[in-house]
Amino acid sequence: MKSLDEFVELFAEQFDETDASEITATTVFHDLEEWSSLIGLSVIAMVDEEFDVALKGDDVKNSVTVEDLYNNVKSKL
């Protein structure tokens, strides 16, 4: 299982305009200016590839911080 720090890094990689330094475990990611449904789909695909976990759209919607999402992924392993 990848660590939270590694997850945050992979999460941040899905953004093009937002600098990785702006994204931490406690970031409320829906509030990020660049956040979009396309990035949401990219995050779901990243989780599928890196963790072999199939997230639903609702899992992303209901997570507030990046850490919430990490914990959600962990709970599905």
Binding site for other proteins (CB under 8 A): 37-38, 40-42, 44-46, 48-49, 54-58, 60-61
- Classified as helix, coil or strand, 3 is coil
Q: Which is nearer to other proteins, 1 or 41 (CB)?
A: 41
6 or 13: whose CB is closer to other proteins?
13
Which of 20, 57 has the CB closer to other proteins? 57
Q: Smallest gap, in angstroms, from Cβ of residue 26 to other proteins?
A: 23
* Residues facing 28 on adjacent strands: 65
Cα 18 from Cα 13, distance rounded (Å): 9
Distance of CA 9 to the CA centre of its chain: 9
**What would the two tokens of residue 69 be?**
């999402």
